[in-house]
C-alpha cells in the first residue's frame, strides 16, 4: 500500500489542533496518532481543546492532556464548561467559541469528530470545525459507543505496540469517572485498534483510523 507522509523529511513541523466534545474523546479518537507524531518530532505546537468539562471531568481532561503532550514545548490546553449532551442547544455560544478559536489558532491539521457520529455533541463539533477551518487538512476520528456508528474510514495511522499500550493505559488511568461504563474497557480500545490495523495491513497489527473528506496531494 502506498504511504503518504503527514510530516517528515524536509517538511516543517506541524501546528496541530485537536478538538473533542468530551474530556476523553481526543485520547480515544486520535491519542495514538498524536503520540506518534510527537515521537517522530513532527509537531511544532499542539492546541488541545475540550468543549465540555466541569469538576472531576475537567481535572481528568487536563491531567490526561499533560501526559499526552509531554515533551511538546508549544502547547495549549483549553477545557470549556459547555453542558455535556447539550451542545446543539447551546449552539450560538459554541459557534462563538469556534470563531474565537479561528482568530487565535491557525493549524496545519485539525483532528475532530466524524460527521456521521450519532452523538449530537460530536456531530456539532464536526460541523463547526468545517465551518471554521475551511482551507485546512481535517482528519475526522471515531469514538466507539452504544450507537454502533463505526463506518469505513479511509486514512490509517499504524501505531507501534509501545504507543498502543501507552494510549490504552493512559485512558484507563486518567479517566476513572468513565471506568464504570461497560464499553470503556481495555478490550474494546485494543480491539478497535486491531481491527483498523488489519484493514491497513499495519506492520504492528494496530492502527488508528480517520475520515478525510478533502486533501491536496503535493
pLDDT tens, residue by residue, 38-89: 999 999 999 999 999 899 999 999 999 999 999 899 999 999 999 999 999 9
pLDDT tens readout for residues 122-141: 999 999 999 999 999 999 99
Provide the pairing of β-strand 109-113 with 137-141: parallel
pTM, to two decimals: 0.96
pLDDT bin (cut points 50, 70, 90) of residue 12 is confident
Q: Is it true that domain 14-212 has CATH number 3.40.50.620?
A: no
Q: Are 122 and 194 in contact (CB under 8 A)?
A: no
Task: Report phi then psi at 44, rounded to 5.
Answer: -90, -40
Mean pLDDT of the region 26-46:
96
- Binning pLDDT at 50, 70 and 90, where does residue 3 land? confident
| Percentage of the chain exceeding pLDDT 90 | 92
pLDDT recorded at residue 7: 65
Could you give the angle at the alpha carbon of 140 between the alpha carbons of 168 and 189, nearest 5°? Answer: 20
* pLDDT confidence of residue 86: 96
Q: Average pLDDT, stretch 196-209?
A: 98
Residue 2 pLDDT greater than 80, yes or no: no
CB-CB contact of 212 with 168 (8 Å): no
pLDDT of 24 > 80? The answer is yes
Which pLDDT score is estimated for 105?
96
Determine the average pLDDT of the residues in 148-160: 97
Three-class SS of 27-66: HHHHHHHHHHHHHHCCEEEEEEEECCCCCHHHHHHHHHHH
Angle at 97 between CA 94 and CA 99, to 5 degrees: 115
Does residue 10 have a pLDDT over 60? Answer: no
The chain-wide mean pLDDT, for the chain, equals: 95
Amino acid at each position: 500500500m502506498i504511504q503518504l507522509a503527514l510530516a517528515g523529511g524536509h517538511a516543517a513541523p506541524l501546528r496541530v489542533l485537536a478538538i473533542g466534545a468530551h474530556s476523553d474523546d481526543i485520547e480515544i479518537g486520535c491519542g495514538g496518532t498524536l503520540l506518534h507524531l510527537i515521537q517522530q518530532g513532527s509537531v511544532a505546537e499542539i492546541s488541545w481543546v475540550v468543549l465540555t468539562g466541569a469538576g472531576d471531568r475537567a481535572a481528568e481532561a487536563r491531567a490526561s492532556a499533560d501526559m499526552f503532550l509531554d515533551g511538546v514545548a508549544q502547547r495549549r490546553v483549553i477545557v470549556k464548561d459547555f453542558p455535556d449532551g447539550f451542545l446543539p442547544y447551546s449552539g450560538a455560544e459554541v459557534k462563538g467559541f469556534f470563531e474565537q478559536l479561528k482568530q487565535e489558532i491557525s493549524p496545519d491539521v485539525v483532528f475532530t469528530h466524524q460527521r456521521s457520529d450519532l452523538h449530537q455533541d460530536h456531530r456539532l463539533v464536526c460541523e463547526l470545525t468545517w465551518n471554521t477551518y475551511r482551507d485546512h487538512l481535517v482528519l475526522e476520528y471515531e469514538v466507539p459507543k452504544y450507537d454502533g456508528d463505526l463506518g469505513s474510514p479511509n486514512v490509517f495511522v499504524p501505531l507501534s505496540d509501545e504507543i498502543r499500550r501507552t494510549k490504552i493505559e493512559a485512558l484507563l488511568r486518567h479517566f476513572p469517572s468513565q471506568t464504570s461504563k461497560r464499553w470503556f474497557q481495555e478490550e474494546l480500545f485494543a480491539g478497535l485498534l486491531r481491527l483498523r490495523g488489519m484493514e491497513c495491513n499495519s506492520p504492528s497489527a494496530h492502527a488508528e483510523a480517520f475520515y478525510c473528506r478533502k486533501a491536496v496531494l503535493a
